[in-house]
């Protein structure tokens, strides 16, 4: 190789050794892995399993919360119960929902985890019906059993 040749001529004449090829392949592989996991969104099998379990748990809680809201709003004394829920402190609302059985679905002995908080948030955002504004606090009634 002479110094007078241009870069394209030198590139054409370059013949890498086996060592250079090996380390180029290793470097490219490592760079691909780093970029893939760091920026490309790749995850390990364990992380993917954990993400799937978290998504399943969240969707199960959201479904139970939606059923809870539906059952709560279709109760005969909805307005009175909603007024009672709104008068309860925010950190005790999920206990009120769980104790009344609104998040315990048919065939289950225990309420669905995290569903009471979601249900209480949704219900607390609702407006109390006008006929329930002057009503006294009444105990929450047991929800109707959901047909399976």
Instruction: State the residue for tokens 């954990």.
Output: 50
pLDDT tens, position by position, for the chain (148 residues)? 456 788 898 888 888 899 999 999 999 999 999 999 999 999 999 999 999 999 999 999 999 999 999 999 998 888 888 988 989 888 899 889 998 888 888 888 888 899 999 999 999 998 877 765 554 444 445 555 544 4
The DSSP letter of residue 146 is P
Which two structure tokens, joined as six digits, stand for 55?
């998504």
Which residues are CB-neighbours of 51 under 8 A, at least 6 positions away?
Answer: 43
Question: Domain ranges in the chain?
Answer: 8-38, 45-132
3-state helix/strand/coil string of 43-92: CCHHHHHHHHHHHHHHHHHHHHHHHHHHHHHCCCCHHHHHHHHHHCCHHH
């Amino acid at each position: 190789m002479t110094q007078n040749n241009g870069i394209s001529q030198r590139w054409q004449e370059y013949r890498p050794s086996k060592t250079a090829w090996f380390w180029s392949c290793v470097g490219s592989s490592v760079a691909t892995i780093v970029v893939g996991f760091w920026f490309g969104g790749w995850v390990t099998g364990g992380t993917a399993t954990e993400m799937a379990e978290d998504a399943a748990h969240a969707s199960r809680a959201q479904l139970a919360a939606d059923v809870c809201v539906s059952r709560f709003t279709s109760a005969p004394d909805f307005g009175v119960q909603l007024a009672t829920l709104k008068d309860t402190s925010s950190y005790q609302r999920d206990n009120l929902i769980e104790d009344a059985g609104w998040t315990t679905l048919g065939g289950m002995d225990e309420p669905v985890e995290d569903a009471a908080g979601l249900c209480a948030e949704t219900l607390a955002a609702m407006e109390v019906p006008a006929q329930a504004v002057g009503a006294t606090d009444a105990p929450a009634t047991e929800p109707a059993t959901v047909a399976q």
